[in-house]
Amino acid sequence: MCGACCRWEGEVKISEEEITRLAKFLKISEEDFIQSYTQLRYDRKGLGVKMLEDGTCIFLGERNVCRVHSVKPSQCKGYPFQWRTRDSALHCQAVRTLLDQGVLKREYPADFEY
Ligand code: SF4
């Protein structure tokens, strides 16, 4: 709940199904959602959630609350158990705690996404 992972430099990939789900949640058309809340991904192969100039996700609200929490993209839901970056522990207290507790392994499995 610190919001650090919602402020890192990077991108949140968003699928067509997620666009449909998020637009419905926000009660706007998919076209309006794409215009207002997405940006072209770095690899130009799809869309990601729009980031503000300082790298903060456009959906991060007051007190670090995700304004689309119940329908947030799978990339957000999967962090840090399905993926994390090699330096997540530098930025994320939750990752440090989970590593210290042994809930997360320090080694990355061969198929782990990061
Ligand atoms: S969609 Fe929500 S959980 Fe995902 S980066 Fe944005 S604010 Fe954070």
What is the distance between the alpha carbons of residues 30 and 23, in angstroms, rounded to a whole number? 5
The sign of the CA dihedral 85, 100, 79, 6 is negative
Atom of ligand 1 nearest to the CA of 76: 4
Q: State the pairing for strand pair 38-40/13-14.
A: unpaired
Cβ–Cβ under 8 Å, residues 30 and 20: yes
Atom of ligand 1 nearest to the CA of 61: 7
Overall average pLDDT of the 74-99 stretch: 88
pLDDT tens digits, one per residue of 1-50: 788 889 988 899 999 999 999 999 999 999 999 999 999 999 999 999 99
Domain boundaries, the chain: 4-77, 80-114
Q: What is the CA(62)–ligand 1 centre distance, in A?
A: 12
Tokens read off for 110 = 């061969």
Give the single-character DSSP code of 5: G
Overall average pLDDT of the 47-73 stretch: 95
